[in-house]
Amino acid sequence: MSLARPDLPVAPLLQRQAAWLAPARAQLLRWIHVARRFSVLDLGTGHGAVVPELVRRSSGRVVALDHQATALRAPQAFRGAQRLAADARHIPTPAETFDLIFSQVTLLWVAPLEPAIEEIKRTLKPKGVLVALEPDYGGLIEHPPEIDSRALWLRALERAGADPYVGRRLPGLLADRGFEVRVSLFDTLFPPDPARFDFLHDLPLTEQERHNLAEIERQVDGLTQAWKQIAHLPFFLIRAFKR
């Protein structure tokens, strides 16, 4: 995974994120018949939060790739998978190696994105599929207005080198390169988890932005009744098939 930020979030945060996305991920993997996939790449694996699931549900080799070699050092997280330290824009495997490439909140951090899509296409077998779960912070919905953190997210992500609008951009970029693209979105709204701000604290914020975030968190702490607050981050759930 090609990150502009210097470090990944800590492993517990990425485990929390993987748990949030588990229902959508499970549905996507069912739709692409993961049990029939014999060569799988976890692109931008981070600390390997999804590796056990891919190993358990697929039927062959799983390769866990991340550009940060330090993230790959915990062998227990990668049991049953091959670890590979590399960049998403330069995947060091032969053409037509994988029949499934899985990406979860990875392409958000890849810049430029087009070379990574070319590498995905190159390394997928014919009729192979990219499964990607990518956010779109431009569509972040928060209520009441006092807890609106959208502007903080957009500025901090762009400052860190991420593309906060990657969700809406990715389907078109894939279609331009000949993929058959299918897109869905979350169909369920859950009560917001205050832990979402832990990821924002991990981004580069100015002193004034940290002050603003502290005030938002203070407002959130006062909203104890169910559904008195709404926080919904749209995720684009993408299946892109190589023709």
Instruction: Give 10-residue mean pLDDT values along the chain (243 residues).
Output: 56 92 96 98 97 96 96 90 96 98 97 97 98 98 97 97 97 98 92 92 96 97 93 97 97
pLDDT in tens, 14-30: 999 999 999 999 999 99
- The CA distance from 226 to 180, in Å, is 41
pLDDT value at residue 34: 98
Which CATH number do you get for residue 80? 3.40.50.150
Residue 62 lies in a domain: yes
Residue 158 lies in a domain: no
Residue 46 lies in a domain: yes
pLDDT value at residue 201: 95
Number of domains in the chain: 1
- The CA distance from 45 to 32, in Å, is 19
pLDDT value at residue 58: 97
Supply the Cα-derived Rg of the chain in whole angstroms: 18
Identify which of 111, 120, 136 has the alpha carbon closest to the alpha carbon of residue 42. Answer: 120
**Cα-flanking dihedrals φ and ψ of residue 169, to 5°?**
-85, -30
What is the arrangement of strands in the sheet containing 98-104, beginning at the earlier edge strand?
A: 82-85, 61-66, 39-43, 98-104, 124-135, 235-241, 180-185
Residue 218 lies in a domain: no
pLDDT value at residue 1: 37
Q: Which residues form the domain of 127?
A: 11-137+163-189+234-241
Residue 73 lies in a domain: yes
Residue 19 lies in a domain: yes
Is the CB of residue 240 less than 8 Å from the CB of residue 129? yes
pTM confidence score: 0.94
pLDDT value at residue 3: 34
Residue 26 lies in a domain: yes
Residue 43 lies in a domain: yes
